[in-house]
Chain A
Amino acid sequence: MALTPVQNQTPAFTAAVAAGAGAFFGLFVGTAQGSGFLGLIIGAVLLGVLGFVFTSLTAQEKPIRWAVLAVFAVAGFFVGGFPALVIGALFGWFTGWFIFWLATSRYRATLAPYLTPGQVLWHYSFRVICGAIFVFLITPILVVMPLSFNAENFFTFTPEMLRFDPEGYSLKHYRDFFTNADWQQALWNSLSIAPMATLLSVGFGTLAAIGLSQPHVPFRRAIMAILISPMIVPLIISAAGMYFFYSRIGLQGTYFGVVLAHAALGIPFVIITVTATLVGFDRSLTRAAANMGAGPVTTFFRVQMPLILPGVISGGLFAFITSFDEVVVVLFVGSAGQKTLPWQMFTGLREQISPTILAVATILVVISICLLTTVEMLRRRSERLRGMSPS
């Protein structure tokens, strides 16, 4: 339901705005082809004319938009082959949508009726700015993925890749990752260190979080500050301190030393997530259980644990990813025998740059997506269990 009654715009308005957009894109295409000024003029005239014409043809929106898309795609193909076809098609889709969006005043439909044109302009400019920031956030992660299928040993797009030539793509970096002894050893080390560290921090952390959420805890603030400090103290300082101290007591360069260090780093995450879950925990449930004759252990495992389990699991996932991603502390506390995946990536980035790193990065991104989904689902489940409506 439209909030604001709208009517079609005049051809002149649509033509002017479309010409502005055309000039903007034309400038880029023009500079790429040699003359920015010419591109600007052509773009402005082209979109201006289209805008003017389409304003009176709003009834045939669908076929016209398809036609525009096809024309731009074909034009792109003749200019620059397959890559330009894709860009042309995208551009054609955008032009068609943009002109009709303007011409039918759809852009005003969801806005408050009293907004001035300046405010409407600002509204959409603000969205474009936010869109650009989201692009900034996500692009680096997306760029890594196609590059990891590069057939060459480069960190950049080859001409073959840009032509979408199958020759330009290969799985060789993934093959390298799964066959190279160094990488496999690193993966194995990561997989043997992280679960142990997670187990330690979740075990100790959950108990302490339950203790901390009791109503009367002496020195609560001070204890909390100490337990959260591994997250706040810069990693390089933790690493330096642990390196000095662990080499005094002979833990430096041992598997056990790295596990202890990573467990210490993961604890704040467990404490934070589990105490957050316990905030909404109804204490009368434990009293009810005790009233019905359950001992403290039974109460814990049959009543409290199932309710806080989502929090415990997501705390554990945080602890796991902390250990799995950690490189500074393991660089100092570990020795060559504990070389983890991030350490191998770090040396790879510093010394011999191989796109295998990008293959590993892609795999890690996929793992992160899985973990993110799990944590989000657990959060909702926990909120549902505690009777809140999930947002």
Chain B
Amino acid sequence: MSDTTDTGPVLAADGTPLKRSLARALRMQKMRALALIAPLLLFVLLTFILPIGDMLFRSVENSIVSETLPRTTAAVQTYDADGGEAPPESTFDALAYDLVVAAEKKVHTRVGSRLNYENAGISSLFRKAGRKVDDMGEVYLDQFVELDPAWEEPQALIALFADPSWAASAGGEDEPRFEYSSAAAEVLPGATDAYTAWARTIQTEDQDSPTKEEPWAPVYMALYHDLADNPDAASAFEGDTAARLAAAAAAIQSPEWQTMSTRDAFVDIDEDWADPEVWRTIKTYSSKYTNGYFLNAADFQKGHDGPELRPELQRIYGTLFLRTMIMSLAITVSCIVLGYPVAWILANLPSRTANVLMILVLLPFWTSLLVRTSAWKVMLQQQGVINDVLVWLGIVADNDRLVMINNQFGTIVAMTHILLPFMILPMYSVMQTINPSYLRAAKSLGATNWTAFWRVYFPQSVPGIGAGSILVFILAIGYYITPELVGGTKGVFISNRIAFHISQSLNWGLAAALGTILLVVVLLLYWAYDKIVGIDNVKLG
């Protein structure tokens, strides 16, 4: 055939090779599909996936300690926590500088409560210290002022510490952020740091200017330490400033100069500041990220030699996780037991009757969760409908009414009722596809009722049971409202604890860690569900 001898590529109408033309059309189709999906995907990522990611991040984030106490966390790195001693004087100095800033910003209680999660009692240490840390170094302030009243004057201090170009623009409206002079930072590092921290804090917190206020006492303490370390500091300055510094450096050397110990001052506020355990906690939680919340969520704590189990009495989360699992399992099993006969009868009745009965399944499914929970409260309480009926029938004495609510029984009954439709609907859709003639064939071949059911019908209905069970289990382990309302104290789930930590104890990190563990369990089940059933096959009613 002469017209098929052309071996060149097949061409489309516009002359491009057909292969390329088809590939382009396919690419266009893919792009169009993605363009339709993109807005929703972006929306879900922003409003849902990102928040979940934020929660995962919070479960390891621990920057509050190192951000609030930067000098202390740096100083504590070299501290030997297992030595049985409190850290050296310099660490306490660092704590004083940090705390006075934190107290001014009113964040010292926050870091206190963060550390309190790990070591009960630290919260009050920080609260007490925050009230008195202002006075620390008062003795130096008094002596400096006595030496030369100019030490109290803002302008004199600015001449000492501030960058000249900043000093020129300071004092007016819209004062720029305080900048220290490099000369001061070199010879008086501690004091410059303390003064800078003070100046910037009052600028942001009180809308004040360093040109008008006198600094807090710890600045003078830092100045004293710097001068003691570097008596020649005055040589880096000129004029009055240099003279004042030289005079101060000389005075410090004299035996009349009084000193104080910040360590003693802290121990005076609360003797627990000398407790090595407190310092060990601060050191352990000084890093920016921690596995502490996860250890806590698994009933572990950071001991001397790595993670160790908490004492018996403090282990609550293991019990809670276990209870959540066991109760969800119990709910799943009771849903299977109650759902299977119903699904069977719905699948085997004539469709007109089945549709009517289906309403009885769908109505609870569509009814508000709170309506059903309140209904169970009405039914189960001690003066409730079930108890009334039992008393009227004489099965239970009036003064001996059954306790069916605020315990595990109440939670299981109410949640079984609430989740039952989620079990019946997948079972029903699987059972509808089972051909009833198999069962008849088995019976005609001599199988008893039970054998026919167990060896022929049941294996075919297993996918429905699997789908329903995973769905019910996933929904059950994350339930919050129903256990909260009918569970009392013994029937609550892990989710109630998460809610407690978010809204009451404010330990968000621990809540996030507990949530992460729960999420991992659910995602594993979700993955299994996807493998077994396929997400595309989820049906609603």
Q: Which of B138-146, B283-291, B456-464, B496-504 contacts A (4 or more CB under 8 A)?
A: B496-504
* Max count, chain B CB within 10 A of own CB: residue among A208, A227, A237: A237
B371:A364 contact, CB within 8 angstroms: yes
Bound together, the chains give a CA A240 to CA B56 distance in angstroms of: 10
A358-B374 contact given A130-B342, A275-B536, A325-B368, CB 8 Å threshold: yes
A137:B417 contact, CB within 8 angstroms: yes
Interface residues of A in 140-193 (CB under 8 A from B): 140-141, 143-144, 147, 154-157
* Max count, chain B CB within 10 A of own CB: residue among A136, A154, A233, A324: A233
CB nearest to A200 among chain B residues: B43
Contact with B along A334-377 (1 / 0, CB 8 A): 00000000100110011000000110010011001101100110
A140:B372 contact, CB within 8 angstroms: yes
Q: Which of B229-237, B268-276, B384-392 contacts A (4 or more CB under 8 A)?
A: B384-392
Bound together, the chains give a CA A137 to CA B425 distance in angstroms of: 14
Size of interface on A: residues with Cβ below 8 Å to B: 100
CB nearest to A28 among chain B residues: B393
A32:B374 contact, CB within 8 angstroms: no
Chain A residues near B481 (CB-CB < 8 A):
327-328, 346
Residue of A129, A136, A318, A342 touching B417 (CB-CB under 8 A): A136
Bound together, the chains give a CA A269 to CA B539 distance in angstroms of: 10
By secondary structure, the A interface counts as: helix
Residue of A122, A139, A216, A369 touching B33 (CB-CB under 8 A): A216
By secondary structure, the B interface counts as: helix
Residue of B51, B342, B345, B474 touching A241 (CB-CB under 8 A): B51
Interface residues of B in 429-477 (CB under 8 A from A): 449, 474, 477
Interface residues of A in 211-228 (CB under 8 A from B): 211-212, 214-218, 221, 223-228
Chain A residues near B326 (CB-CB < 8 A):
none
A357-B374 contact given A28-B393, A321-B366, CB 8 Å threshold: yes
B498:A267 contact, CB within 8 angstroms: no
CB nearest to B499 among chain A residues: A236
Bound together, the chains give a CA A100 to CA B518 distance in angstroms of: 58
Bound together, the chains give a CA A54 to CA B17 distance in angstroms of: 91
Judge whether B215 is part of the interface by a CB distance below 8 angstroms.
no
A234:B370 contact, CB within 8 angstroms: no
B375:A143 contact, CB within 8 angstroms: yes
B371:A235 contact, CB within 8 angstroms: no
Chain A residues near B417 (CB-CB < 8 A):
136-137, 140
Q: Which of B24-32, B67-75, B220-228, B255-263 contacts A (4 or more CB under 8 A)?
A: B24-32
Judge whether B209 is part of the interface by a CB distance below 8 angstroms.
no
Residue of A32, A144, A226, A391 touching B392 (CB-CB under 8 A): A32
CB nearest to B503 among chain A residues: A332
Contact with B along A24-46 (1 / 0, CB 8 A): 00001001111010000000000
Interface residues of B in 3-52 (CB under 8 A from A): 26, 29-30, 32-37, 39-41, 43-45, 47-52
Q: Which of B166-174, B315-323, B356-364 contacts A (4 or more CB under 8 A)?
A: B356-364
B359:A235 contact, CB within 8 angstroms: no
A211:B33 contact, CB within 8 angstroms: yes
A156-B385 contact given A134-B357, A147-B378, CB 8 Å threshold: yes
B364:A141 contact, CB within 8 angstroms: yes
A224:B536 contact, CB within 8 angstroms: yes
CB distance from B449 to the nearest CB of A (A): 6
Bound together, the chains give a CA A121 to CA B9 distance in angstroms of: 76
CB distance from B289 to the nearest CB of A (A): 16
Contact with A along B338-375 (1 / 0, CB 8 A): 10011001000001000101011111101111111111
Chain B residues near A139 (CB-CB < 8 A):
379
Judge whether B58 is part of the interface by a CB distance below 8 angstroms.
yes
Residue of A214, A350, A364 touching B32 (CB-CB under 8 A): A214
CB distance from B230 to the nearest CB of A (A): 44
Chain A residues near B364 (CB-CB < 8 A):
137-138, 140-141
Judge whether A50 is part of the interface by a CB distance below 8 angstroms.
no
Interface bracket on B: 35 or more
A361:B368 contact, CB within 8 angstroms: yes
Judge whether A107 is part of the interface by a CB distance below 8 angstroms.
no
Chain B residues near A276 (CB-CB < 8 A):
539
Bound together, the chains give a CA A141 to CA B368 distance in angstroms of: 10
A140:B375 contact, CB within 8 angstroms: yes
Judge whether A95 is part of the interface by a CB distance below 8 angstroms.
no
A371:B341 contact, CB within 8 angstroms: no
A144-B359 contact given A227-B44, A358-B378, CB 8 Å threshold: no
Judge whether B403 is part of the interface by a CB distance below 8 angstroms.
no
Chain A residues near B372 (CB-CB < 8 A):
140-141
Residue of B48, B363, B383 touching A368 (CB-CB under 8 A): B363
B369:A143 contact, CB within 8 angstroms: no
Chain B residues near A372 (CB-CB < 8 A):
359, 362-363, 366
Chain B residues near A357 (CB-CB < 8 A):
374
Judge whether B55 is part of the interface by a CB distance below 8 angstroms.
yes
Judge whether B488 is part of the interface by a CB distance below 8 angstroms.
no
Bound together, the chains give a CA A244 to CA B51 distance in angstroms of: 7
Chain A residues near B355 (CB-CB < 8 A):
391
Judge whether A303 is part of the interface by a CB distance below 8 angstroms.
no
Interface residues of B in 492-521 (CB under 8 A from A): 495, 498-499, 502-503, 508, 511-512, 515, 518-519
A129-B341 contact given A144-B378, A210-B36, A238-B48, CB 8 Å threshold: yes
CB distance from B260 to the nearest CB of A (A): 42
Judge whether A204 is part of the interface by a CB distance below 8 angstroms.
yes
A234:B478 contact, CB within 8 angstroms: yes
Chain A residues near B474 (CB-CB < 8 A):
232, 234
Judge whether A66 is part of the interface by a CB distance below 8 angstroms.
no
Residue of A157, A237, A318 touching B515 (CB-CB under 8 A): A237
B541:A375 contact, CB within 8 angstroms: yes
CB nearest to A369 among chain B residues: B363
CB distance from A247 to the nearest CB of B (A): 10
Judge whether B108 is part of the interface by a CB distance below 8 angstroms.
no
A325:B370 contact, CB within 8 angstroms: yes
CB distance from A87 to the nearest CB of B (A): 11
Residue of B47, B53, B366, B378 touching A260 (CB-CB under 8 A): B47
Bound together, the chains give a CA A15 to CA B2 distance in angstroms of: 97
B44:A240 contact, CB within 8 angstroms: no
Bound together, the chains give a CA A349 to CA B378 distance in angstroms of: 11
* Max count, chain B CB within 10 A of own CB: residue among A130, A137, A345: A137
Bound together, the chains give a CA A345 to CA B481 distance in angstroms of: 11
Residue of B48, B360, B371, B512 touching A138 (CB-CB under 8 A): B360
Judge whether B420 is part of the interface by a CB distance below 8 angstroms.
yes
B449:A272 contact, CB within 8 angstroms: no
A133-B378 contact given A157-B388, A235-B480, A241-B54, CB 8 Å threshold: no
Chain B residues near A263 (CB-CB < 8 A):
43, 47
Bound together, the chains give a CA A228 to CA B359 distance in angstroms of: 26
A345:B449 contact, CB within 8 angstroms: no
CB nearest to B420 among chain A residues: A137
Judge whether B64 is part of the interface by a CB distance below 8 angstroms.
no
A156:B33 contact, CB within 8 angstroms: no
A226:B44 contact, CB within 8 angstroms: yes
Bound together, the chains give a CA A345 to CA B26 distance in angstroms of: 53
Bound together, the chains give a CA A177 to CA B257 distance in angstroms of: 77
Bound together, the chains give a CA A77 to CA B22 distance in angstroms of: 85
Judge whether B126 is part of the interface by a CB distance below 8 angstroms.
no
CB nearest to B382 among chain A residues: A156
CB distance from A324 to the nearest CB of B (A): 8
30 residue pairs bridging A and B, Cβ less than 8 Å apart:
A32-B392, A32-B393, A126-B345, A130-B342, A133-B342, A134-B360, A136-B338, A137-B361, A137-B421, A138-B363, A144-B378, A156-B383, A157-B385, A204-B39, A208-B39, A211-B33, A214-B32, A214-B36, A216-B30, A217-B30, A229-B526, A232-B526, A234-B518, A234-B522, A244-B51, A267-B40, A364-B368, A365-B371, A371-B366, A372-B363
**Beyond known contacts A264-B48, A365-B371: 14 more, CB 8 A cutoff:** A31-B395, A127-B345, A137-B417, A140-B375, A217-B33, A229-B48, A234-B477, A234-B522, A240-B515, A242-B51, A324-B368, A361-B370, A368-B366, A372-B362
The 10 A-B pairs of least Cβ separation, nearest first, read A234-B478, A211-B36, A241-B51, A140-B375, A31-B394, A245-B51, A208-B40, A236-B495, A241-B55, A214-B33
